[in-house]
Structure 1
Amino acid sequence: MDRAIIKNKLKRYIKIVRLYSQFLFIYLHNYIYIYSNGRIGKTLAGRPCLILLSTGAKTGLERKNVLSYLKESNSFCIVASNGGREKNPSWYHNLKSNPECKIQIGKNNFSGSAIQIHDEEYIEWWSKMDNMNKGGYSNYQKMTKRKIPLILINLT
């Protein structure tokens, strides 16, 4: 077999293993953070994480998602990147349907109301969030045609 073919196959294999490992790591982190009731997992790769508790748009049931965030004053910014996929994440639709939500950071619980960020405020928050994520959100934006929404949760 040609060396170039072997090298290409090896590169693809490594890429698949790396993606699977990242998915497994994030899934495991989320599971531990939620089921330890916030005692373990407040950060992931140096970024702060919160547990978003929203009401399902279709079911009305409580949904939990672990998301990285940036806090300013009494507001928390989260990004509906969905890993660069073409559709917004389910939690985004939940918050659009019912903006009242709760967040948990560690053992601390807060109530809030979610709004979508637009215009100049969007540009400002996007820059901050992307810097915090070391350009990761810009990479996600390149992968999708939709404009990735930013949500601000204001504590009530």
Structure 2
Amino acid sequence: MAAESSEPPSPTGSARLPPRWFIRAAWVVHRAIYNVSGGRLGLRRPTPRVWGMMRLHTVGRRSGTARIAIVAYFEDGANLVTMAMNGWGQPPPAWWLNLQARPEASVDLPEGARDVVAREANGEERERLWAVFRTLEGGDDLDAHAATRERETPIVVLEPAAAKP
């Protein structure tokens, strides 16, 4: 199994991404669709070939303000798995920085809300989960896109939070 490249991007690399303004506009439109539809549109369950979409609720690491991001995921047993990428841009997404400061979060899934605790996958677990992302829609370009980043893309595991007594 090939590992994600940590080499800087080559100017002739095969990764083709839309311009940053387009990616940011797509995020705004996605959130608007979710909000305007009252949550009826914008989330989806994953299938064996297509990643799902969930709303991730975090708390701002500096502001303490509630933050929400819509992110792709797949299920790994009881866990939800996502990538901490920022439209393949260099900086890590704010939601990942927030989770590193405070791993307790919640998610909205098509079937309802769930409390979770975040952690980064490492070693063999990371490689196994990265390989799953390769099998999903768009995964054939995953390694090329990852190679455009200067640092390794974290794989984030969202484990069910322990039930409160």
Which TM-score tier does this pair reach, normalised by the shorter chain?
Answer: 0.7 to 0.9
Say which is worse superposed, 124-133 or 92-101, in terms of deviation. Answer: 124-133
Q: Deviations over 1:76-98 (max 9, x none)?
A: 00101212211111011000000
Query: Partner residue of 1:140?
Result: 145
Q: How does 1:4-153 map to 2 (within 5 A)?
A: 23-34=24-35, 36-43=37-44, 47-106=51-110, 108-135=112-139, 136-153=141-158
Query: Partner residue of 2:13?
Result: none
Q: Deviations over 1:23-56 (max 9, x none)?
A: 5344312322245443111249x53100000011
Equivalent pairs, count: 141
Aligned-pair identity in percent equals 20
1:77–1:151: 8 Å Cα contact kept in structure 2? yes
The structure whose Rg is larger is: 1
Separation in 2 of the partners of 1:32 and 1:91? 20
Q: Point out where structure 1 has 5 or more consecutive residues left out of the alignment.
A: 1-14
Q: Point out where structure 2 has 5 or more consecutive residues left out of the alignment.
A: 1-15
Separation in 2 of the partners of 1:17 and 1:119? 31
- State the secondary structure of the residue aligned to 2:80: strand
Larger relative contact order (CA 8 Å, sep ≥ 6): 2
What letter matches 2:30 in structure 1?
H
Separation in 2 of the partners of 1:153 and 1:25? 24
Say which is worse superposed, 145-154 or 81-90, in terms of deviation. Answer: 81-90
